[in-house]
Structure 1
């Protein structure tokens, strides 16, 4: 079973995404902010990170950069969850090391498909 680190400050979204992925056969670890996510990822590296861009304390772009800089977390696929879909916004995520983006609003089916595809590409 693949482990997904879900980093989302909105508890309702975190709950909905977590439920969907758990029902899809994934083990989900939730984090409400960037510092907590970094600690969780370093302590027990996940197979994939779903990372909100806008968060208090430490934004998703900075968390992504930190994960890419760590030897243990560098190879982990990171999918950014964002409401911004302009090319320059997406490019900022890719420049930080994201492997993909899911633009809000998204369907549960799209979420499941994108996670499965990223894990398949990573060999998890």
Structure 2
């Protein structure tokens, strides 16, 4: 049975391309185009891992990460932050809030595959 990844990103092109890449890697993918939807899907779909953008309108990625870590089922799901933030403080803050990994955009499919393999091992 394939593992399920929840992808939360507000950029349609990134969402589409990442979904295609993840499916090619053998993952089942659930996609959310904004933070609140991602939080709801994390609780109802119980993914094996979550890929989370930081910059989103409304509920941003850091707020989503904080809520995920405070909730029941989703508090144990590994979260990999996907972001164009190049500032080391963004990486540090993400890890402090409970992220299991950080992949900078733009990324290659191999980078994403490696990050997922590490958190799902």
Task: Calculate the TM-score normalised by the size of structure 2.
Answer: 0.96
What is the CA–CA distance in structure 2 between the aligned matches of 1:104 and 1:15, rounded to whole Å?
A: 14
Question: 1:37: which partner in 2?
Answer: 38
Unaligned runs of 5+ in 1: none
Question: 2:59: which partner in 1?
Answer: 58
What is the CA–CA distance in structure 1 between the aligned matches of 2:89 and 2:24, rounded to whole Å?
A: 34
Question: 1:98: which partner in 2?
Answer: 99
Number of equivalenced pairs = 120
Question: 2:84: which partner in 1?
Answer: 83
CA contact 1:62–1:96 (8 Å) conserved in 2: no
What is the CA–CA distance in structure 2 between the aligned matches of 1:95 and 1:65, rounded to whole Å?
A: 10
Task: Calculate the TM-score normalised by the size of structure 1.
Answer: 0.93
**Which whole-Å deviations, capped at 9, do the CAs of 1:99-118 have from their partners, x for residues lacking one?**
11001111111111211221
> Structure 1: which 4+ aligned runs deviate by more than 3 Å?
none
What is the CA–CA distance in structure 1 between the aligned matches of 2:91 and 2:5, rounded to whole Å?
A: 21
Cα-Cα RMSD = 0.8
Structure 1 residue 92: deviation in Å? 1.1
Unaligned runs of 5+ in 2: none
